[in-house]
Structure formats: C-alpha cells, structure tokens
C-alpha cells in the first residue's frame, strides 16, 4: 500500500523563516556589491588612501586579536577551569564591552588615557598617546574584541575533558607543562576561531574608533567620511573592497585552522 506523505508543517515554517533571515542579511549586501561598476572598483583599488585605510583596519584588528590571544587566553583558562568567588562578576565584566554603546567606549578610553588622571599622565610620560594614534585604535579594538575571544576560547577549554589534564599531572607534568602539551594543542583551533571572531568584531568597529582616532583613518571611518562628504556612490566601492578583503582573510584563516586540525 502506498503511504501518502504530507509535508511537515513545522519544518515548512522553519524553512520559510530561515529563507527570510538569509534574504534579510544577503539583500542589502548583494545590492551594495552589485551597485559599483568594475571601473569604479578598479579605480578605488588604486586609491592609496583606500588601500592605506583597509591595511590599517586589518593590521590594527590583527594586533587586537594578538593582544587578546596573549592576555585573554590565561583568563579564559581560569574561567573554564577554576571556581572562585566573584567569577560571575568577572564574566559579566568581560561581556560589558558587548553591551556598552561604542561611542561611550571611545569616550571612556580617551578619558582614561588623557593627562587629567594619574594613569593617563603616566602613559603620557612614557610617550604613549591614544588620541589620534594607531595605539589608540588598537586599544579600542582590543576593548571591543576581547569578549568575543575570551568567550570562544573559554568554551573551547571547557570542551576538553579535565581528566586529560589530571592524567598529565599524574604522569609528572607540571600545571604549565600540562597546559602546553595537552590543553593548548587541543584548544588551539578554538583560539584561532576566537581570534577570527575578535578580529571580525574589531575590523567593523566605527563608533569608538571615530572618537579616539579619526586619523589615521581605518576603513569604516573612511567609508563614513566618503558617505558624508560625497554620497553613497563614493562610499560603496570602498565598502565592497573591505568586505572582499575581509572575506578572503577569514576564509583563509578558517581553511588554515581546518586543514591543520585534519593533519594533527
């Protein structure tokens, strides 16, 4: 007997919602990508200011990801492995940069690094300036990108059975030795993903950067400037190049982390 198969209503609704969401994300991006002509894109690619701004965005966000890696990894490890008083508070503090409006982040960093307080004065005496410098941009991008790195890497540490570390200790490895021989090799892919997340967040930052350092110009600031000064037509090609470069970069990183994992 042939059974009649009816489409599942729930799955149909799920598919429809998914299609709407994908369209919602893709439509404006596709529209923007298709707007500039090839000639416009070629001309923009030769514009030294555009190349400099995109390079600045990539380098500063990569620096932010690297700083997050160095300082965020121990913190992520502690949060994943240890119970301590105030842990919830620390976790909430880490998530703060996600919630705070980003111009406020810029203002906060400017006021901390200004000469009006002891910390800022100390930085000035050491020759460290935030206002209008690459250092300022890196500080801002690290601030906004850190939660993404820490949360990703923390999950990655949590996914490693603690028993592996316990056995390693029983076999004579110190806590540090265990971290570098067991935990790190098993979590490094998570760290790469965390750095990608951090960098992705940092590269798109505008609100805080525009307050701390309008110059040297990052790509989002340049896109904003071109839009306000010359209109949509001049902003779009820069945006398309930024998207293309970022896509390529993140794709390469993903491929690298994926293939390295399959080798290990």
Partner 1 sequence: MIHIKGVSVKLPSFLLDQIDLRIHLGEFFTLLGPTGSGKTLLLESIIGLLPITNGSIWIDGRNVTAWAPEKRAIGIVYQDQALFPHLSVKKNITYGLRYLKRRGLTTTDLDRLIEQLSIGHLLDRGVENLSGGEKQRVALARALAIRPNVLLLDEPLSALDPEFREDIRELLKALHAETRLTVLMVTHDFAEAHFLAQRAAILRNGRIEQIGSVHELFNHPANFFVARFVGMKNIFNAQIDGTHARVGNLSIQINSNGGSPSNHIAIRPEDIRVFPNQARPENDVNCFDGRIERIINHGHHLDLQIAVDNIDFRATITSGQFMRSNLQIDNRVNIAFHPNSIHPF
Which among 162, 192, 164, 158 is positioned nearest to 77, based on CA atoms?
Answer: 158
Q: How many CB atoms lie within 10 A of CB 231?
A: 10
98 and 107 Cβ atoms separated by less than 8 Å: no
Q: Which residues, at least 6 apart from 168, have a Cβ–Cβ distance to it below 8 Å?
A: 177, 178, 181, 182
Q: What is the dihedral of CA 257, 200, 218, 96, to 10 degrees?
A: -130
Do residues 195 and 69 make contact, with C-beta atoms less than 8 angstroms apart? yes
Contact string (CB under 8 A) for partner 1, positions 174-203, x = contact: x--x---xx--xx-----------------
Q: Between 125 and 170, whose beta carbon lies closer to partner 1? A: 170
Q: In this chain, which stretch among 92-100, 137-145, 158-166, 224-232 interacts with partner 1, using CB under 8 A? A: 158-166
- Nearest Cα neighbor of 137 from 85, 67, 76 is 67
Minimum CB separation from partner 1 for residue 196, in Å? 21
Q: Which is nearer to partner 1, 125 or 264 (CB)?
A: 264
Could you say whether residue 172 binds partner 1 (CB under 8 A)?
Answer: yes
Measure the CA–CA gap between 237 and 42, rounded to whole angstroms.
9
> Least distance (Å) from partner 1 to the CB of residue 76?
19
Q: What is the nearest approach in angstroms of partner 1 to the Cβ of residue 182?
A: 6
* Residue keyed to tokens 């990608």: 196
Count of residues of this chain found to bind partner 1 when the rule CB under 8 A is applied: 18
Select 184 or 227, whichever has its Cβ closest to partner 1: 184
- Could you say which of 55, 87, 115, 166 contacts partner 1 (CB under 8 A)? 166
Q: Is 82 in the site for partner 1 (CB under 8 A)?
A: no
By the rule CB under 8 A, 161 interacts with partner 1? yes
Binding region for partner 1 (CB under 8 A)? 161, 163-164, 166-174, 177, 181-182, 185-186, 264
């Amino acid at each position: 007997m042939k059974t009649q198969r009816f489409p599942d209503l729930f799955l149909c609704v799920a598919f429809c919602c998914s299609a709407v969401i994908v369209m919602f994300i893709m439509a404006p991006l596709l529209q923007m990508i298709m707007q500039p002509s090839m000639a416009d894109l070629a001309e923009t690619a030769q514009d030294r200011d555009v190349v400099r701004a995109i390079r600045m965005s990539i380098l500063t966000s990569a620096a932010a990801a690297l700083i997050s890696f160095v300082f965020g990894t121990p913190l992520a490890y502690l949060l994943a492995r240890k119970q301590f008083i105030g842990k919830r508070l620390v976790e909430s503090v880490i998530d703060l940069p996600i919630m705070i409006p980003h111009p406020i982040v810029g203002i906060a960093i400017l006021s901390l690094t200004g000469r009006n307080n002891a910390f800022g004065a100390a930085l000035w005496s050491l020759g460290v300036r935030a206002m209008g410098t690459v250092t300022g941009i890196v500080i801002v991008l690290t601030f906004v990108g850190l939660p993404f790195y820490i949360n990703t890497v923390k999950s990655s540490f949590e996914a490693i059975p603690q028993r592996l570390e316990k056995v390693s200790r029983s076999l004579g490895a110190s806590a540090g030795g265990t971290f570098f021989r067991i935990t790190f090799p098993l979590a490094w892919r998570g760290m790469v993903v965390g750095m990608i997340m951090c960098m992705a967040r940092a590269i798109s930052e505008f609100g805080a950067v525009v307050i701390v350092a309008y110059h040297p110009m990052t790509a989002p600031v340049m896109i904003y400037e071109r839009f306000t000064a010359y209109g949509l037509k001049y902003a779009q090609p820069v945006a398309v190049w930024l998207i293309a470069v970022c896509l390529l970069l993140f794709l390469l990183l993903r491929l690298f982390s994926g293939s390295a994992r399959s080798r290990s």
